[in-house]
Chains A and B, each alone.
Chain A
């Protein structure tokens, strides 16, 4: 350990939030998504104007709202972890409920967006861009649905005085934030890239 690291170590107690297994999963999953993104950019490169023409059918405003809602959910989940750590389980429970509400808002918004696209005749097989659009949004949606399971675990831990495992709450929060940051990347690559 060099001296700068030692100084930092003295100042702050180091810890891994939640279970290390979850971090191994997240690092693995992030690399898998990097590979998906690479495949997307490779195919996009073969037909930039075609991809851009299809991308123009997406509503950037909807994507921005999706992102803002997930950022709100991440914020409330981070507050849940802090409150639970300080023993304020009432506030932590309120924050996990808030997170569930934001997550549900994302579900409604995303399903609405898919319905609108399908109405316009833009489906999985319309063109390459929309194949990627549905692939990314659906695979992200599946991660989000699994996220509800973790939010449920945090909720269950906080609801009963006999439970309250800080480690499980942190593990659940860590998973939830992954759902958020993967969306940040997907949003940038599908909606904003030129």
Chain B
């Protein structure tokens, strides 16, 4: 296989896996049992998950090489999902 693609795909997989393993640290970093609500942690978790999803879309699914329309639609979904999820999680939390 073309070495450039081989390395690129391996690097993407490595980054995605390291971020996933990072969740284990986050769990111990939080208060553990009983689980406590944390807006900062949860907001980060939602955003990091969407960064991972976007990386899968751009690299594994090759949206990076796709026409502008598809790239914009994918980004639109990522932004929409981030807004909806963060909005719902955070709304009223300040009170």
Comparing A78-86, A109-117, A119-127, A142-150, the segment that makes contact with chain B is: A78-86
Query: Do the beta carbons of B77 and A41 come within 8 Å of each other?
Result: no
Query: Do the beta carbons of A48 and B37 come within 8 Å of each other?
Result: yes
Query: Do the beta carbons of B60 and A88 come within 8 Å of each other?
Result: no
A49 to B37, CA, bound (A): 8
Main secondary structure of the interface of B (DSSP, over half): helix
Query: Do the beta carbons of A188 and B2 come within 8 Å of each other?
Result: no
Q: Give chain A nearest CB distance to B94 CB in angstroms.
A: 13
Chain B 1-53 interface residues, beta-carbon cutoff 8 Å to A: 1-2, 5-6, 9-10, 12-13, 16-17, 20-21, 23-24, 26-27, 30, 33-38, 41-42, 45-46, 48-50, 52-53
Query: Do the beta carbons of B33 and A56 come within 8 Å of each other?
Result: yes
Query: Do the beta carbons of A79 and B1 come within 8 Å of each other?
Result: yes
Chain A 49-66 interface residues, beta-carbon cutoff 8 Å to B: 49, 52-53, 55-56, 60-61, 63-64
Query: Do the beta carbons of B49 and A185 come within 8 Å of each other?
Result: yes
A71 to B16, CA, bound (A): 7
Minimal Cβ-Cβ distance residue in A for B24: A64
Number of CB contacts from chain A to chain B under 8 A: 148
Main secondary structure of the interface of A (DSSP, over half): helix
Q: Tell me, yes or no, whether A77 is within 8 Å of chain B by CB.
A: yes
Query: Do the beta carbons of B77 and A31 come within 8 Å of each other?
Result: yes
Q: Tell me, yes or no, whether A105 is within 8 Å of chain B by CB.
A: no
Q: What are 6 inter-chain pairs, A to B, with CB distance below 8 A?
A: A74-B60, A78-B12, A180-B56, A185-B81, A191-B23, A193-B45
Where the two chains meet, the residues of B that have a C-beta atom closer than 8 Å to any C-beta of A are 1-2, 5-6, 9-10, 12-13, 16-17, 20-21, 23-24, 26-27, 30, 33-38, 41-42, 45-46, 48-50, 52-53, 56-57, 59-63, 65-68, 70, 73-74, 77, 80-81, 84-85, 88-89, 91-92
